[in-house]
Amino acid sequence: MATVLLRHPPFSSPIHSSHTSTSTSTSHLFLHFPHSSFPKFTISCSSSHPSRPNYIPNHIPDPSYVRIFDTTLRDGEQSPGASMTAKEKLDIARQLAKLGVDVIEAGFPAASQADFDAVVMIAKEVGNAVYEDGYVPVICGLSRCSEKDIRSAWEAVKHAKRPRVHAFIATSSIHMEYKLKKTKEQVIEIARNMIKLARSLGCEDIEFSPEDAGRSEREFLYEILGEVIKAGATTLNIPDTVGINMPSEYGGLIADIKANTPGVENVIISTHCQNDLGLSTANTLEGARAGARQLEVTVNGIGERAGNASLEEVVMALKCGSHVFGNLYTGMNTKHIYRTSRMVEEYSGLQLQPHKALVGLNAFAHESGIHQDGMLKHRGTYEIISPEDIGLERPEDQAGIVLGKLSGRHAVKKRLEELGYELKDDNLESLFQRFKSVAEKKKRVTDADLRALVSDENFQAEPIWKLGDVQVSCGTLGLSTATVKLVGIDNTEHIGCSIGTGPLDAAYKAIDLIVKEPVTLLEYSMNAVTEGIDAIATTRVLIRGVDNHISTHALTGETYHRTFSGVGAGMDVVVSSVKAYIAALNKMLGFKGT
């Protein structure tokens, strides 16, 4: 049969035809013409690439390979309310390894004892696991250019097979004058000495970042980068810390650094782009085009202020636009993108906007009549990639299994596996009982319902307090009252009763009487995960402890009160709200401060 290859360069190009399909690394859409039928179309936004090259800190054997450096657990966690427990961070690190990221920045060890412990845990477990093709992720710890931070970072990551220390110091005039209150000469001396210190401790993989490089004087950048290379740095990260650079401007910055920095041929150039103007993904891609071979990203683009370059956007843009970027490729297993996105959303408590590229609720939804008509005729009319390519299964009516009250454990387990969830037997049993309870009340349990149940059952902090029972009374005839039974970590039961202005106010006050931990409720939100009166509701709350849980901010060095989010799910909105509040309390109580 004949094959037509439609390429999509930046603008337009002619259609090329041939009698045999060829192996190519360009993004393409194949149109297959059987001899006696209407054309059958297949969408492909991917291609076969060489295997991941051997890891060498300051060199990549294949010049087309791009390392992915994920900082979800460090920069991403700096988002307000995104504080995660050590267990949650470990779960995400495991998932990032399944995704295939080259470097996992596990945290800022000097921030608090909890951060230090989490990095150690990740370094020992994830940093020593050997995955397919001998892949072992690099485990990185962030550090300011201070002796205390450098030593703390090294002590935390040294347990990994491939440990890395990431040191930074500000280099822009405004930062040096107002934040550091130091001269250029002093900043160079500090940077040089701290890189040497990390080397002397035994660290052979050292990343250096000139903070606010996007607003720094070029000649000064060339000078300080040249000095840290001589001191032993293996990767130079060039951050657009405040997200002010335009794509062409940032690409020019990377190109200029490569052309003018002495010794740059002996190191890897990296990007780190904030999203203040919505340009982080574009800037990151321009950096790659200009020669950067490490790209710093976060899952869902979470992070300080408006966030960071989004891992899923950058990885899939490189995959679909390889013809534009000179056949650059990554080692990502993109089928784990959606699952990783959901895990980060649940653990961080930062809900995705529906129109978020690739992983948002509407990313593969088509409501316009014209679009629906095209999709019914062929999905390639309005989908540039197949959702299965990122691990998003088609709706349940196309999956072959419809779950309801008569479904057994095997059917539920199979559907969960198709959705990317691997549960242990005890977790599966607990979730199955919750599934049966929901299925008794609903005609059909959807994939969205299942995801909500999994999130509520498994994406939670270690339970210091568990919900036993809750009963509320409310209405227009009097004050709302609530009785709550909690089960403590020693399995003792505690009952609290309270009145309030509404059922949730009364229930939360009853919980406070038991837990005796003063908190401030900062945010409350609720969403229905499916349509209909019998929908499962997911609730998110954000709390802050009144006088404890202090951490150190990585960039400013200032101390701040951590905030903690919790998520609950259930068909009863009061129950889901109570679960969310308890989840946030458990996360806060399990956090170790400085």
Q: Which of 66-75, 257-266, 276-285, 549-558 has the lowest mean pLDDT?
A: 549-558
Classify residue 353 as exposed, middle or buried by CB count within 10 Å of its CB (0-12, 13-18, 19+). exposed
pTM of the full predicted structure?
0.79
Residue 31 backbone phi and psi in degrees, to 5: -115, 110
Of 36-40, 157-161, 478-482, 541-545, which one has max mean pLDDT? 157-161
Residue 583 to residue 8: CA distance in whole angstroms: 47
What percentage of the chain reaches a pLDDT higher than 70? 82
Spatial neighbors of 57 by CB under 8 A, at least 6 apart, are: 164, 204, 205, 234, 235, 268
pLDDT at 64: 97
H/E stretch holding 217 reads none
Q: List, for residues 237-252, the tens digit of each pLDDT value.
A: 999 999 999 999 999 9
pLDDT at 84: 86
**Pairing status of strand 550-552 against strand 537-545:** unpaired
Report whether pLDDT(34) > 50. no
Residue 298 to residue 105: CA distance in whole angstroms: 10
pLDDT at 409: 82
Report whether pLDDT(17) > 50. no
Domain boundaries, the chain: 2-44, 67-348, 393-457, 466-589
For the domain 466-589, what is the CATH superfamily, name and number?
A: Alpha-isopropylmalate synthase LeuA, regulatory domain (3.30.160.270)
Q: List, for residues 63-96, the tens digit of each pLDDT value.
A: 999 999 999 999 998 887 787 888 889 999 999 9
Name the average pLDDT for the chain: 84
Say yes or no: do domains 67-348 and 466-589 share a fold: no
If you average pLDDT over residues 422-428, what whole number do you get? Answer: 77
For the domain 67-348, what is the CATH superfamily, name and number?
A: Aldolase class I (3.20.20.70)
pLDDT at 253: 98
Residue 368 pLDDT class (50, 70, 90 cuts) = very low
Q: Which of 167-176, 277-286, 287-296, 545-554 has the lowest mean pLDDT?
A: 545-554
If you average pLDDT over residues 270-286, what whole number do you get? Answer: 98
Higher pLDDT: 459 or 390? It is: 390
Residue among 162, 170, 221, 231 nearest 198 (CA): 231
Of 2-6, 187-191, 476-480, 498-502, which one has max mean pLDDT? 187-191
Residue 215 to residue 276: CA distance in whole angstroms: 14
pLDDT at 313: 98
Spatial neighbors of 212 by CB under 8 A, at least 6 apart, are: 170, 171, 172, 174, 175, 239, 241, 242
